[in-house]
Amino acid sequence: MRILGIVGSPRRNGNTEILMHEALKPATDSGCETEMFFLSEREVAPCDACGICFKTGSCVVKDDMQELYGMMARADGIIIGSPVYFGSVSSQAKAVMDRTFALLAKRSLQDKVAGALVVTRRVGAIQARSLIYSFCIAHGMMVAGGAIGYGREPGDVLEGVGGGINMSAVDEARLLGKNVVRLAGRLSGDASS
Ligand SMILES: Cc1cc2nc3c(=O)[nH]c(=O)nc-3n(C[C@H](O)[C@H](O)[C@H](O)COP(=O)(O)O)c2cc1C
């Protein structure tokens, strides 16, 4: 199985990336292939609403989203990670979400397993996580869960609590990764998952 982590922060080595590494650890440990896509290093333009993709199933905007379409198609599980910006996801993460409009007509993400990973300094995590959940459900993906981390400076999330009860952010991220793998395994008919 293959699990993809999309890191929606414009900041390389930031908190979202740190927790994404933790979320993907259970996947590598259980023998899955993992891939990461860093929006800090890529150009993904916003959807320009040309409407061509809804007729053809492919997006005509030639940027790094073209590579991500392939990565998403190959993945059994996709974890979308974003910092909280003004109570929402980053514009980089939102651009990716909007550009997947091209995948809706053919329901290309249907039945893939999804996870949401958000990092905030203080507030807005639930809204951002809900937004990612809604996006995944719109595509017919199976949401395995989410993880929340708190922090401002890169690395803060390694010390802090998660969004749930009695769990650190690191443990929550790892549990998210474990659940994504488990659900993807069950959907693929792997009885041991
Ligand atoms: C433009 C911008 C908007 C932000 N908005 C919020 C916010 O609404 N609530 C909050 O608690 N933190 C907010 N933050 C703080 C980030 O969520 C926080 O620093 C996070 O750790 C960044 O993740 P990263 O290291 O992966 O980039 C904002 C930061 C920026 C740059």
**Ligand 1 centre and the CA of 85: distance in Å?**
5
Residue of minimum CA distance from atom 30 in ligand 1: 85
Confidence (pLDDT) at 192: 75
List, in order of start, the domains of the chain with CATH numbers: 2-187 (3.40.50.360)
Confidence (pLDDT) at 190: 81
* Confidence band for 80, pLDDT divided at 50, 70 and 90: very high
For residue 120, the ligand 1 atom closest to its alpha carbon is 17
* 7/29 Cα distance (integer angstroms): 20
Instruction: Tell which residue, 141, 66, 140, 64, has the closest CA to residue 102.
Output: 66
Tell me the percentage of the chain whose pLDDT exceeds 90: 94
- pLDDT tens column, 65-79: 999 999 999 999 999
- pLDDT tens column, 15-50: 999 999 999 999 999 999 999 999 999 999 999 999
Residue 191 reports pLDDT greater than 80: no
Quick one: tokens of 146? 């989410």
Residue of minimum CA distance from atom 8 in ligand 1: 86
Sheet of 142-150, strands arranged across: 33-38, 2-7, 77-83, 113-120, 142-150
Could you count the other beta carbons within 10 Å of the beta carbon of residue 120?
A: 24
Contacts of 143 (CB under 8 A, 6+ apart): 113, 114, 115, 116, 133, 136, 137
- pLDDT tens column, 88-139: 999 999 999 999 999 998 899 999 999 999 999 999 999 999 999 999 999 9
